[in-house]
Structure 1
Amino acid sequence: MPIYGGTLEYGYWIPRSFDAHQKVGYGPTAALPVFNQLVMFNIDFKDVVPENIIGDLAESWETSPDGLSITFKLRQGVKWQDGLPFTSDDVVYSLDKMTDVNRSVIYEWFAAYERTEKIDEYAVKVHLKYPSAGFMISLAQGESVIQAWHLAGTDPQSADFMVGTGPFLLTEYKPGVHLKYQRNPDYWKKDKYGNQLPYLDGMTMYQMGASTADDLLISRRLDFIGPPHGVGVKSRIEYLKQGAPELLWQKRERITGSVIFINTKHKPLDDMRVRRALGMILDEQDLILGYAGDSSLGITDVGLLHPSFGLPKEEVLKLMGWDKPYEARVSEAQQLMAEAGYQNGFKMNMMSTETTEGRAGATLVFAEALRQHLKINVEVNVGLGSIELNKRLTEDNYDTYTYTLDVPDPVQLKVFFATGGYSNWSKYSNTNLDKMLAEVDSFLDPDKRREAIMEIERILLTDLPALPTGCFPPAMMPYYPHIKNLRWMPLLYSNINRLEDVWIDESLRVK
């Protein structure tokens, strides 16, 4: 049975904003202990599918026969942490806000959204422009939290913003140092046995990087690294296993991987032949080794999308020109460069986060292949801080950018590849693809939807605004045996970030 009490300690990056709708790095890690969602994924199951969506602040919901409206019945008796009652006004406000281009970064997840109608204090009807396959999936993701209408306009970088309906109260915020939470005594939720949640007395989330977190975990000053943050490189896994052999490990599969975005507005990367040449010499196994140090920590012969919803291996190999020996691929790539007038290469600026492993490691490996086989004079900029990184992106000061293609639902590909998408770092535009990206969310038939997604990937692997890397490293999640009921699904920000049903068994703590 669960045990009450204790303070959970973990650490990683504290976000610069607590507004999860802004999708800042690690934002939901800090926000989810305080806020609830309308619906969420059941983390007892692993698949990111509508069938695994359960209610959170919504007690139940019903979709109209034509699929154009969803009526949500809300839980009664729920209070905001400042004592005011939660009502349908908060849901109307939150849905309008998270779908508003001027107030939210995740607005593109909700292309089908039209408006929310208040039926009464505890019921709302969401009206859609068309029946949507992805609306509920997007609503169940950790960024889609419900926020208080009466606190609209509160500074999202301040502790005053952190007033939710969730299991924990934020009691102390020291920027760049820590967040401290304590148990919300008025939390509305109980576990399946009728026990009041949460079990923990409190939590402390410290600001720190990966190497510091590893050292503090080994020294037992942390209970685990953090809810979404695992270990995806061989050297860190071995370091932790050697330093703390008593650690338990769970494997969190990833359905999102890293890609190399190519700035198609820069010459000569605007030339299809040059992009094709780059793709032909790319060896996914080598990039995985650069990323993780172990080729088993990735997927070879894969395109931009995870195989669970992407193209089959045989088609990826053919589209990328990888269905021939590597020497022949290099020869063909060199011929393409010559045809484009760049047989002696050109200067190129590659950019990535991290320093020597992860995305940076994959970038460094690919850069060396470009130098060796295509005579490209590559300047690699890795380990950039967020300020410098965003400055370069804003000023268009990059030729390639290695980053995660964060699409737990392929409908969200429009964020990265639709004309004007807010993360369209390739500066790519294809009117035919724009039309397909706009339509795919309306395909409710699973087979039709899957074929549409595969056709989208065919276009992307033909035009190559981005290159696949095979870097879909599973996140290995380490924690000590005294921490109970941790479990993960592929989503980075699932309900496990709320930590409402995790407990500590002090009898198992390693001294």
Structure 2
Amino acid sequence: MKRNSRSSRGRVVIAVCAALATGTLLAGCGGASSSSSSSSSSAATGGGDTVDGTATLDIAMPVAQSLDPRQAPEPGQLLISAWPVYDRLIQVGPDARYQPMLATKWEFSSDGTTLTLTLRQGVTFSDGTPFDAEAVKANLDAYQKADKTAVQASLADVAGVTVLSGDTVELQLKKASTTVLSALSSTLSGIMVSPKALNSPDLAGHPVGTGAYVIESFKPGQSVVYKRRTDEGGIWDPKTGKPAEVAITSYSSSEAMENAVKSGQADVITWSAGDKKPFQSQLDSGQLQAHVLTQSTNTVGLNIKPSVKPYDDVKVRQAINHAINRQAIVEALQPANRPRVQPWPEQLPGFDSAREGAYPYDPAKAKELLAQAGHPDGFDGGEMLVAQVPGFSAVAEAVQADLAAVGIKIQVRVMDIYSLVTEWAKAPNPLELMYMNTSSIDAYSWLQRLFVNPLWRPAGADPELVKLTEGVDDPALTDEQRAEKVGRAVAYATDNALYAPLWQGSGGYVATGKVRGLDDVASVHGGVADLRNTYLAQ
């Protein structure tokens, strides 16, 4: 069995934002039937490879401090560390649509106030407890009682849970809303824990789920090791559980991760997909492989605070959008990603490709707009806060130069990604270079995140935009009706230049030549990684 020595590596925690910048959510369990798949010995795959069923898959990603969903501050941190052991009720597919996981079917009532889930049969938790409707109710009840936690907040619209039969459960909703599906696919409230373990004081370090693995060891913030389940019928998804063990380890820096994959200490690392130079010789020889995640909804850009003068003038905000050479920035610094003009990802309803022509790179137009706004010679633009994410500093410098070329002089301050959220909400800084997305595919949730949430709109949301977002979460809407309503809101936000988006995309992975399954992308939303289909070939 492949077992890398971990005790001598001297690894420490790397910021979670590095993984959020370059990760993905990979899971391919949508229509799988209940099945036993031990993968205890080598087996041929459909692609002609032979699985190394005795190998350890070593992954370099940040490890959470706790594996208890009620203690996780947000979904990404938990999924990175706990995907081998925990499955969710609903999965999100690569086409940004919900797919079956532990729930095989879901249906809203005619008035949208109840949601009925049909559950997968024949699934057991690793402690032998059956997965059924009682287990779902126990989990959701426990999450709702977890006072002042992220998991409780994500289920705020759920009024109650009723068991209808062994494989059917009904959720009563406080209001008709599609956001409950986002909660049930989340790596917080969608995770199912064995009812026997829910009240265990050791759950933070000893997770018990329906996944293909069980915990072997856990060092908070440093490393976690899982071993494949051996109980009969324990692995219900035949695409998972191929490696004998999965080890996830935090590294001190991106350079340390690069050295680890080049030396073979790590099999998979996250990658900004901006620079192949550190790996070029190994990529050319086939020792390493690079995978770009082209379907991610992750979006990056400038958030503009209209409460700070002169950014309260729409012409100034429009000038900023014309002044930035998105194409050049992406080609030079984010070549795997796609320039973005409208503040909306193309996978979600309401995206309009014609809207991408709203702000072509045009410094002369930018200067003309500034002159119309009363700033013919430009102005001192204040300080732009920049998330401390690999590659963002170089992007900030490029944006700073583009704005200076039309007379807007700004200073740049890079800061911790989590501190930035708080700072932006309370400080007078007019600009912020940050992610523009949420870990969800629910259009209403995205509208709230981008245009209403006070963390991102600290001066208050535009009343007209708030009105445009109303009713988008109505379960009774057809796809066409929802897309039309969302499109009106996104058009309004684009016309009023509330953001200056830069690109859509979230990097990818670099892996050793024997890694397989990274091209079997089942989901890429949320910027985090579930490598359940990944394995090592012999």
- Superposed CA offset, 1:181-202 (max 9, x none): 112333633345xx9x522221
Seen in structure 2, the aligned counterparts of structure 1 residues 63 and 439 have a Cα distance that, compared at 3 Å, is closer
Structure 1 residues 72 and 230: CA distance shift in structure 2, 3 A: same
Tell me by how many angstroms 1:346 deviates. Answer: 2.3
Residue 12 of structure 1: how far off its partner (Å): 1.9
For residue 380 of structure 1, the aligned residue among 390, 395, 412 is: 412
Output the CA distance in 2 between the equivalents of 1:265 and 1:151: 49
For residues 223-275 of structure 1, the C-alpha deviation after alignment (integer angstroms, 9 at most, x for no partner) is: 111xxx34321x2x232232343123433212221121123333433343432
What is the TM-score with the length of structure 2 in the denominator?
0.77
**Separation of aligned partners in 2, 1:152 and 1:397:** 43
- Structure 2 distance, partners of 1:98, 1:436, is 32
Aligned partners of 2:280 and 2:330: how far apart in 1? 21
Judged with a 3 Å threshold, the aligned counterparts in structure 2 of structure 1 residues 249 and 287 are, in CA distance, closer, same or farther, namely closer
Residues 1:451 and 2:497 are matched in the alignment: no
Helix, strand or coil for the counterpart of 1:497? coil
Q: Write the mapping of 1:171-250 to structure 2, written as runs, cut at 5 A.
A: 171-186=216-231, 188-191=234-237, 198-208=241-251, 209-225=253-269, 229-233=270-274, 235=275, 237-245=276-284, 246=286, 247-250=288-291
Task: Describe the SS at the equivalent of 1:361.
Answer: helix
Residue in structure 2 matched with residue 334 of structure 1 by the alignment = 370
- Tell me the CA shift for residue 444 of structure 1: 2.4
Q: CA deviation at 1:68?
A: 4.2
* Matched letter for residue 117 of structure 2: F
Q: Using the alignment, how far apart are the partners of 1:291 and 1:32 within structure 2?
A: 31
How far has the Cα of 1:204 moved from its partner? Answer: 1.1
Q: What is the rounded CA distance, in whole Å, between the counterparts of 2:381 and 2:471 in structure 1?
A: 39
1:66-145 map, 5 Å: 67-75=112-120, 78-95=123-140, 103-105=148-150, 113-128=158-173, 132-133=177-178, 135-136=180-181, 139-143=184-188, 144-145=190-191
User: For 1:203, what is the secondary structure of its paired residue?
Assistant: strand
The residue aligned with 1:497 is 530
Cα shift at 1:176 = 3.8
Write out per-residue CA displacement over residues 297-354 of structure 1, whole angstroms, 9 at most, x where no aligned residue: 3334631112344543444434x4x3xx724313223314426xx8551251112224
Q: Distance between the aligned counterparts of 1:312 and 1:390, measured in 2?
A: 29
CA distance in 2, matches of 1:364, 1:425: 24
Higher relative contact order (CA 8 A, sep 6+): 2
Gapped regions of structure 1 (runs ≥ 5): 507-511
- Asked if 2 retains the 8 angstrom alpha-carbon contact of 1:17 and 1:156, the reply is no
* Higher-helix-fraction structure: 1
Instruction: List per-residue Cα deviations over 1:458-487 (Å, max 9, x = no partner).
Output: 121133332211x12363433234223332
Aligned counterpart for 2:436 among listed residues 380, 390, 405? 405
Native 8 Å contact 1:178 1:206 kept in 2: yes
Tell me the distance in 2 between the aligned counterparts of 1:94 and 1:101: 11
Cα 1:32–1:191 change in 2 (3 A) is closer
Contact 1:133 1:444 in 2 (8 A): no
Post-superposition shift, 1:101?
10
| Partner SS, residue 439 of structure 1 | coil
Deviation at 1:146, TM superposition (A): 2.2
Instruction: Tell me the matched-pair count.
Output: 476
Higher mean Cα deviation, 78-87 or 273-282?
78-87
Distance, in Å, in 2 between the alignment partners of 1:277 and 1:100 is 49
How far did residue 76 of structure 1 move? 5.1
1:434 paired residue number: 466
Q: Aligned residue for 2:420?
A: 389
User: Which residue of the partner structure matches residue 468 of structure 1?
Assistant: 501
Change (3 A) 1:496 1:359: closer
Q: Which residue of 2 aligns with 1:312?
A: 352
Q: Does 1:269 align with 2:311?
A: yes
- Tell me which residue corresponds to 1:509: none
**Aligned amino acid, residue 399 of structure 2:** F
**Alignment RMSD:** 3.5
The share of aligned pairs that are identical, in percent, is: 17
In the alignment, structure 1 residue 288 sits paired with structure 2 residue 330? yes
Which letter maps to 1:146? M
Q: Secondary structure at the match of 1:457?
A: helix
Paired residues of 2:139 and 2:198 also in contact (CA < 8 A): no
Give the corresponding residue for 1:47: 95
| Contact 1:257–1:472 under 8 Å retained in 2 | yes
Q: Deviations over 1:149-181 (max 9, x none)?
A: 555577799414x33232222222223431111
Aligned residue for 2:445, secondary structure, equals helix
CA distance 1:333–1:32, shift in 2 (3 Å): same
| Structure 1, 344-353 or 19-28: larger mean CA deviation | 19-28
2:306 aligned counterpart, secondary structure? coil
Q: CA 1:177 to 1:220, structure 2 compared with 1: closer, same or farther past 3 Å?
A: same
Give the Cα separation in 2 of the matches to 1:390 and 1:315: 28
State whether residues 170 and 182 of structure 1, in contact with CA within 8 Å, keep that contact through their aligned partners in structure 2.
Answer: yes
- Does structure 2 retain, via aligned residues, the 8 Å contact 1:109–1:412? no
TM-score (norm 1): 0.80
Flag the 1:480–1:284 CA change in 2: closer, same or farther, 3 A. Answer: same
Secondary structure in 1 matching 2:64: coil
Whether 2:79 is the aligned partner of 1:28: answer: yes
SS in 2 for 1:467: strand
Asked if the contact 1:71–1:123 (Cα under 8 Å) also holds between the matched residues in 2, the reply is yes
Q: In structure 2, the residue corresponding to 1:164 is in which secondary structure?
A: coil
Structure 1 residue 284: deviation in Å? 1.4
